[in-house]
Amino acid sequence: MPHIRARGLALEELELVSDLLIEQLAVAMNTPANEFTLEYTPVTYFAVGGAAPAYPFFEILWFDRGAEVKAKVATIIDDLIRPQVEPGLDVTVLFHDLKGADYFENKQHF
């Protein structure tokens, strides 16, 4: 079920590491790889004066697996993405912890 939204990097950069990213996250989260969704969103960032350089930003929507797994997931993402982007750019990972009471799939409540 983990849903990963990625933005702030080129599609090609994400494609280079997508298989390895999902494989490593599946191990870290103890979740089958086929249960992951990886979403790419093209984005333009703005600052004072107009368009600004993008930086990789990943959002993880999941059922909380604890601080230790969060740290592992953030490290996996950073390690795989950092070589694909310009030096000095931040790589941000943000977790959204879902509650089972708020989650439905195929009309069924989890």
pLDDT per position as a tens digit, 30-50: 999 999 999 999 999 898 888
Domain that holds residue 39: 3-50+64-102
Would residue 55 count as lying in a domain? no
Max CA distance (Å), the chain: 48
Would residue 79 count as lying in a domain? yes
Would residue 56 count as lying in a domain? no
Would residue 110 count as lying in a domain? no
Total structural domains in the chain?
Answer: 1
Q: Are 63 and 98 in contact (CB under 8 A)?
A: yes
Higher-pLDDT residue of 86, 36: 36
Q: Residue 24 sits in a domain of what CATH number?
A: 3.30.429.10
Residue (of 98, 23, 28) closest to 64 by Cα position: 98
What average pLDDT is seen over the chain?
92
Q: How confident is the model at residue 104 (pLDDT cuts 50, 70, 90)?
A: confident
